[in-house]
Structure 1
Amino acid sequence: MKELKKYSGETILLLSMNKLLHLIDDEFQSQNAAKCDLFIHLGFETIQYAILDKVRDELKALVEYELNAAWSPISLIEAIKSLPECEKEFKYPFNKIKISFDSYQFTFIPKELFTEGNVLEYSKFIENTDAADVLCKPIPAAKIQNIVKINSDLHLALKNIFGEALILSQANAFIQGISKYYLQSNEASFFIDIHGKHIQIAYFENSNLLFYNIFDCVNADELNYFILNCIETLGIDVQNCSVMLSGKVVKDDQSFQRVEKYFDAIQFTDSSLIVKHPEKFNEVLKHSYFPLISLDQCE
């Protein structure tokens, strides 16, 4: 456990982090960074990053750290700064840097109803948060604008650490990725992204986004509740709806078993559709980091 430090008169406990995954191509060097993009996801439970070579169209790095405690924005900033990559890889001159962060504080505005000058008015639909900045990022595939709040200290720290990075919420990458690679215009599609303590759910009909949300979800029984609630509330015809899974789920685990209680057509997303995975990354299930790698679809 790391030492206690003072910040703005408050004592905070810096997060220690377990390294869950660390795969970096032996050929990747700082001089190659200019042709690569860096993608980072700040999750509720983990920090993930990937490096994509945009010239060769292949994955160069995939790394994940586990956050060992419930984090505050300030402790998350300190955790990011404590990563060894902050002294090395994150300082490389990447072509682009894109950062997503998990958040419950967002609202969608349909493109046809959106007015640029009304962003602050739209943000009033979001739960009030002290010292928050408002970001407005389009999700072109769904024809919506995503208005999201981010802690002001965290937002400033990310800009100081990463410079002119694109910063957006988890919804942008998830929806863009599945819209690009998995929607069929004549069918209903149900997408579930499963993690240790939360899930994302998106539902489409005729390629149109009808529902998206992110929920606290700590076990398979809670997942079962959310699936059943979506089926009933959205009127999903389970016999004629495909299901795609991503995140921390494998065939026949408890989460998968809850899904197959209701659906027959179940598949896993595949991030190698977005970027080639060299042999070094074969040990990684290609659906596990689909939302992270889907940042490639965001601009």
Structure 2
Amino acid sequence: MERNIQIKSENFDSSKSYQLLLDLNQDTYNYALIDDNNNLKIIGSSTSGIENAEFLEYQLSSIKICYFSRSFSIVPSNFEQDIQSFEKLMEIHPESETFTSSSLNKETITVYALNIERQQTLLDVFSDFEIFPQINPLLRGASSNGTYVNIRNSYAEVLIVKNSSLNFYNVFEFKNDNELQYFVALVLQQKAIDGKKEAINISGDVSEDSLTFQRLKTLFPYLSLIKPETMIKIGEEFKNADLQRYFALLNLASCGS
């Protein structure tokens, strides 16, 4: 998929203020601008530095950021008093990373590493923002029971919702489609899910005509793309966009305040 792309509404008004949604991956980011009436006005992806982004030229009324971290874990909330002990288990590199945690729900806490340099960039360019780990928008978008796979370049998030609650989440790095097939199949086997009979929802850096999708579908016949279903109003000019690519990004709107 194209790594640098932007789609802008024909009636975009640069003098108005917008909510910024920002989904940070390892070396790319996705972004969207939403107006006061909840209309999508700009959506895109970029490999350039955030400090050079066009959206910094506009008035930003609020900023929500999803941060993808390879060093990530979910722990029960009753471990909150011992949360720092997980820093050693996760092998955080203190010279380049900082350890942080946030509440996912009443039962669980997320712990993850933030790159210090990237964190400083965010503090330099934004005066105020909310930041969330990668699981939050994905879980928000998982509106029904089932298996969800979200592709972020060479990483795959696998999330399972059962009985309307989070049942499983993990992140895998893969080098090729064979490894991706293996990891997804392994999770389904461990969770006693029949990939030949159960629906699997996939989003992120994948399209229906891609080899990755076609190869996965040979193993999982009921694999289908899932696009974000949010309160954001998406105009006709965005209908041909690969909206499954922005599944996590647009569900970020419903995270936090």
Aligning the two structures, in what range does the TM-score lie when normalised by the shorter sequence?
Answer: 0.7 to 0.9
2:163 to 206, 214, 218: 206
1:211-226 map, 5 Å: 211-226=168-183
Cross-structure match for 1:124: 88
Cross-structure match for 1:270: 227
Deviation at 1:237, TM superposition (A): 2.8
**Contact 2:197–2:221 under 8 Å retained in 1:** no
Cross-structure match for 1:99: 65
With normalisation by structure 1, the TM-score equals 0.76
2:50 paired with 1:80: yes
Structure number with the bigger relative contact order (C-alpha 8 A, sep ≥ 6) is 2
Deviation at 1:30, TM superposition (A): 4.0
> Which one has a larger percent helix, Structure 1 or Structure 2?
1
Deviation at 1:252, TM superposition (A): 4.6
With normalisation by structure 2, the TM-score equals 0.87
Q: Which amino acid aligns with 1:250?
A: S
Cross-structure match for 1:51: 33
Deviation at 1:148, TM superposition (A): 1.3
Deviation at 1:295, TM superposition (A): 1.0
For residue 119 of structure 2, give the secondary structure of its aligned residue in structure 1. helix
**Contact 2:147–2:159 under 8 Å retained in 1:** yes
Q: Distance in 1 between matches of 2:110 and 2:37?
A: 32
Deviation at 1:175, TM superposition (A): 1.9
2:6 paired with 1:22: yes
Unaligned runs of 5+ in 2: none
For residue 23 of structure 2, give the secondary structure of its aligned residue in structure 1. strand
For residue 257 of structure 1, give the secondary structure of its aligned residue in structure 2. helix
Looking at CA atoms only, which structure, 1 or 2, has the larger radius of gyration? 1
1:197 to 146, 149, 154: 154
Unaligned runs of 5+ in 1: 1-17, 68-78
2:98 paired with 1:133: yes
2:117 to 153, 156, 161: 153
Deviation at 1:214, TM superposition (A): 1.6
Cα distance change on mapping 1:190 and 1:281 into 2, 3 Å: same
**Contact 1:135–1:168 under 8 Å retained in 2:** no
Q: Which amino acid aligns with 1:110?
A: P
Cα distance change on mapping 1:110 and 1:80 into 2, 3 Å: same
**Contact 1:46–1:64 under 8 Å retained in 2:** yes
Q: Which amino acid aligns with 2:254?
A: Q
Identity rate, percent: 24
Deviation at 1:227, TM superposition (A): 1.5
Cα distance change on mapping 1:19 and 1:122 into 2, 3 Å: closer
